[in-house]
């Protein structure tokens, strides 16, 4: 255990400083683990035995919390009360040799995992704030969310949503009031306030869903989603503006398909979209997180190994397995770890590619979870 902790410390310090790390036999396993964010069942850190192994042995980089279990149609998942969530988060962090990303979807309004029914304060939607278009109102709402997450020790909010409300009947964006506006300038302005308030509280933001989900007519949770006829380059503008302003927290990909951008693959699996548009055209240098790899837009069309390989080749750094789709797989982290390791061993994916993601992830952790004194 001491050797593992020493290795982790050396890797963290060397990558944070930009120096080359000494070669360690288990360094690849450490890097692969940090590329995984996993959802789980349970109200405490010992509820799911495989989760303990995922954290202690496989060294996963993060977890994501939910208030509802889709597969069992149960309101019991990870969130019961403020006191319970604080205990859960603390217990999870104590099990991990490196600080975990503890992520949650707390956008406000209907997309809120921390609900009044469980003792949390109410929140307003992005659509409400965009309609008001008042900076003070948005700053107040964002600040309340940021302070709540800080109190709970949740360090990453998978928000704000910067999709444009170009299709108000969109079942997963417009109809859920998740978009600030159809105007990219309004979206960027209010998203910037959320990011600033998150940073004030030490919370990591995550813009989503790249390259834009607002024009879709279907839900990627449930089905293949083709936006070829509805998407416009205007949907890139909030990302372009925020990155121009220096945004370097994560960006989350969408599973939408656009034949004009990539004739073969949806965005999460597309080198042309992630590597070409996000990293190339928009010059984004931060961490890229996939949307849930178990959503049906991906899972129904690609095998697990193929999906993992394509996402990594596309430029995704953190593979999110929310484990909260139509089925629950307590062994998903072990399966993903084994697949990535084999892809590297068989020279399908290079060690350097894994190292690039690891460096970005560790730089984010060093900057946000190990802030300078």
SS3 99: coil
Helix (H) or strand (E) holding 82: helix 82-95
Tokens for 220, please give them. 């990627």
Q: Judge whether 211 and 254 are in contact, CB under 8 Å.
A: yes
Max CA distance (Å), the chain:
56
Tokens for 9, please give them. 């410390």
Name the residue among 299, 215, 277, 210 with its Cα closest to residue 249. Answer: 210
Q: Can you tell me the distance from the alpha carbon of 154 to that of 269, in angstroms, rounded to the nearest whole number?
A: 28
Task: Kindly name the residue from 105, 291, 292, 317 that is annotated as catalytic.
Answer: 291
Task: Kindly name the residue from 221, 249, 255, 262 that is annotated as catalytic.
Answer: 221
Q: Judge whether 362 and 16 are in contact, CB under 8 Å.
A: yes
Helix (H) or strand (E) holding 139: helix 135-152
Active site residue 291: yes
**Which of the residues are catalytic?**
221, 291
């Amino acid at each position: 255990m001491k050797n593992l902790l020493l290795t982790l410390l050396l890797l963290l310090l060397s990558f944070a400083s930009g120096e080359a790390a000494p070669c360690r036999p288990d360094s690849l396993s450490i890097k692969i683990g940090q590329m995984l964010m996993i959802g789980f069942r349970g109200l405490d850190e010992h509820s799911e035995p495989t989760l303990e192994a995922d954290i202690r042995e496989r060294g996963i980089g993060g977890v994501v919390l939910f208030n509802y279990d889709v597969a069992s149609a149960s309101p019991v998942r990870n969130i019961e009360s403020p006191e319970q969530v604080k205990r859960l988060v603390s217990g999870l962090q104590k099990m991990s040799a490196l600080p975990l990303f503890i992520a949650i979807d707390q956008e406000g309004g209907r997309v809120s995992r921390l609900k009044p029914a469980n003792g949390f304060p109410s929140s307003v939607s992005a659509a409400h704030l965009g309609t008001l278009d008042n900076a003070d109102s948005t700053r107040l709402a964002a600040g309340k969310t940021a302070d709540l997450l800080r109190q709970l020790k949740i360090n990453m909010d998978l928000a704000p949503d910067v999709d444009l409300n170009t299709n108000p009947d969109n079942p997963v964006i417009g109809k859920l009031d998740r978009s600030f506006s159809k105007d990219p300038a309004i979206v960027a302005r209010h998203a910037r306030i959320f990011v600033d308030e998150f940073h004030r509280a030490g919370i990591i933001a995550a813009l989503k869903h790249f390259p834009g989900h607002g024009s879709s007519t279907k839900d990627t949770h449930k089905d293949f989603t083709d936006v070829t006829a509805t998407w416009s380059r205007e949907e890139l503008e909030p990302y372009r503006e925020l990155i121009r302003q220096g945004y370097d927290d994560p960006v989350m990909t969408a599973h939408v398909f656009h034949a004009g951008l990539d004739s073969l693959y949806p965005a999460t699996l597309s080198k042309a979209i992630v590597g070409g548009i996000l990293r190339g055209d928009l010059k984004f240098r931060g961490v890229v997180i996939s949307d849930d790899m178990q959503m049906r837009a991906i899972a129904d069309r690609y095998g697990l190994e193929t999906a993992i390989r394509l996402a990594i080749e596309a430029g995704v750094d953190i593979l999110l397995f929310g484990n909260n789709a139509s089925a629950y797989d307590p062994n998903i982290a072990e399966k993903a770890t084994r697949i990535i390791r084999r892809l590297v061993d068989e020279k399908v994916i290079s060690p350097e590619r894994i190292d690039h993601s690891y460096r970005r992830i560790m730089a984010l952790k060093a900057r946000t979870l190990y802030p300078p004194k």
